[in-house]
């Protein structure tokens, strides 16, 4: 008997540079159990904090076996777990299957820019629907509903968002008539209708942007010599001369004294 079993929306990744264990999945009504080693050298437990969906958990971290409950999280809603720990030890998820979700459906990819939201799926059913939600203040508002195409081998969908100025956050809920649903990952987009400006045109120590933005500074040969995201850019170490700056797709020039 053939069957298709796809683990939807789960990722376990060890980020060694941040000493963080990151796991995402779906709450199914079960607790998650975590081994929390005791580090003799520092006379402390390994785990320093646990965050669930951005909120710090009240779980007792002074135990070698932690039971993580998902208070306030609705069943079949997504969960995002970040475990911060000491770099000399490694906590372990005992039962990761507790938040794994098995389904023939999955969000294959999501792409968003200033004017359009694309999403691609596999395994959707004709009786299903997609509900686009936008975070407004402290609640998720339903802004549009799209009927599923019912193409098991893959389908593409599109939504034209109306961004607010500044930060915007969206997610998509795939819903079936029996009440079961799955969420996509959350997508963030920062919308600024006005371009970024900078001053002064003749720089000595610092350049100031009209708002925080991504920048690239190039020398006379077109080589990128400085890049990042900032509102105040230190340029003391730049040699005197003419330079080009790229700000969100717009090119301009300035002089370093």
Beta bridge partners of 103: 6
Q: Is the residue at 60 inside a domain?
A: yes
The number of distinct structural domains making up the chain is 3
Looking at the fold, whether 76 and 12 belong to one and the same domain comes out as yes
Per residue in 213-228, pLDDT (tens digit) is 889 999 988 899 999 9
Which of 205-237 are b and which e, b meaning 16 or more Cβ less than 10 Å from the residue's Cβ? eebebeeebebebbeeeeeeebeeeeeebebee
Computed on alpha carbons and rounded to an integer, the radius of gyration of the chain in Å comes to: 24
Q: Is the residue at 218 inside a domain?
A: yes
Looking at the fold, whether 132 and 172 belong to one and the same domain comes out as yes
56, with CB counted inside 10 A (0-12, 13-18, 19+), is: exposed
Tell me how far apart the alpha carbons of residues 247 and 64 are, in angstroms, rounded to a whole number: 50
Q: Is the residue at 133 inside a domain?
A: yes
End-to-end Cα spacing for the chain: 75
- What pLDDT sits at residue 193? 65
Cβ neighbours, 10 Å, residue 123: 20
- What pLDDT sits at residue 179? 77
Mean pLDDT of 231-237: 93
Looking at the fold, whether 83 and 118 belong to one and the same domain comes out as no
Q: Is the residue at 51 inside a domain?
A: yes
Tell me how far apart the alpha carbons of residues 236 and 257 are, in angstroms, rounded to a whole number: 10
CA distances from 95 to 42, 65, 69 (A): 27, 12, 13
CATH number for the domain that contains residue 119: 2.60.40.10
pTM: 0.43
Q: Is the residue at 1 inside a domain?
A: no
Looking at the fold, whether 81 and 110 belong to one and the same domain comes out as no
Looking at the fold, whether 74 and 109 belong to one and the same domain comes out as no
Tell me how far apart the alpha carbons of residues 233 and 212 are, in angstroms, rounded to a whole number: 10
Per residue in 156-187, pLDDT (tens digit) is 999 999 887 778 899 999 998 877 788 898 89
- Is pLDDT of 97 > 80? no
Looking at the fold, whether 144 and 211 belong to one and the same domain comes out as no
Domain boundary among 191, 207, 226: 191
Q: Is the residue at 151 inside a domain?
A: yes
Looking at the fold, whether 156 and 208 belong to one and the same domain comes out as no
Domain span holding position 246: 198-256
Q: Is the residue at 140 inside a domain?
A: yes
Looking at the fold, whether 12 and 97 belong to one and the same domain comes out as yes
- Is pLDDT of 11 > 60? no
Tell me how far apart the alpha carbons of residues 181 and 78 are, in angstroms, rounded to a whole number: 10
């Amino acid at each position: 008997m053939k069957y298709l079993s796809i683990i939807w929306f789960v990722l376990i990744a060890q980020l060694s540079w941040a000493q963080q264990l990151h796991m995402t999945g779906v709450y199914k009504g079960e607790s998650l159990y975590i081994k929390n080693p005791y580090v003799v050298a520092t006379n402390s437990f390994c785990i320093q904090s646990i965050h669930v969906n951005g909120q710090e958990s009240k779980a007792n971290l002074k135990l070698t076996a932690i039971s993580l409950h998902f208070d306030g999280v609705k069943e079949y809603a997504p969960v995002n777990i970040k475990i911060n720990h000491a770099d000399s030890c490694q906590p372990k998820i005992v039962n990761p299957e507790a938040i794994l979700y098995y389904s023939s459906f999955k969000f294959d990819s999501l792409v968003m820019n200033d004017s359009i939201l694309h999403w691609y799926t596999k395994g959707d059913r004709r009786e299903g629907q997609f509900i686009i939600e936008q975070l407004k203040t402290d609640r998720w508002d339903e802004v549009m509903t799209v009927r599923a195409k019912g193409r098991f081998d893959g389908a593409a969908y599109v939504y034209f968002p109306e961004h607010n100025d500044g930060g915007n956050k969206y997610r998509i809920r795939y819903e079936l008539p029996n009440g079961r649903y799955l969420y996509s990952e959350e997508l963030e987009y920062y919308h600024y209708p006005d371009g970024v400006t900078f001053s002064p045109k003749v720089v000595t120590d610092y350049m100031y942007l009209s708002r925080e933005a991504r920048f690239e500074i190039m020398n006379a040969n077109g080589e990128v010599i400085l890049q990042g995201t900032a509102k105040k850019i230190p340029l003391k170490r730049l040699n005197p001369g003419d330079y080009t700056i790229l700000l969100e797709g717009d090119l301009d020039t300035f002089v370093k004294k």
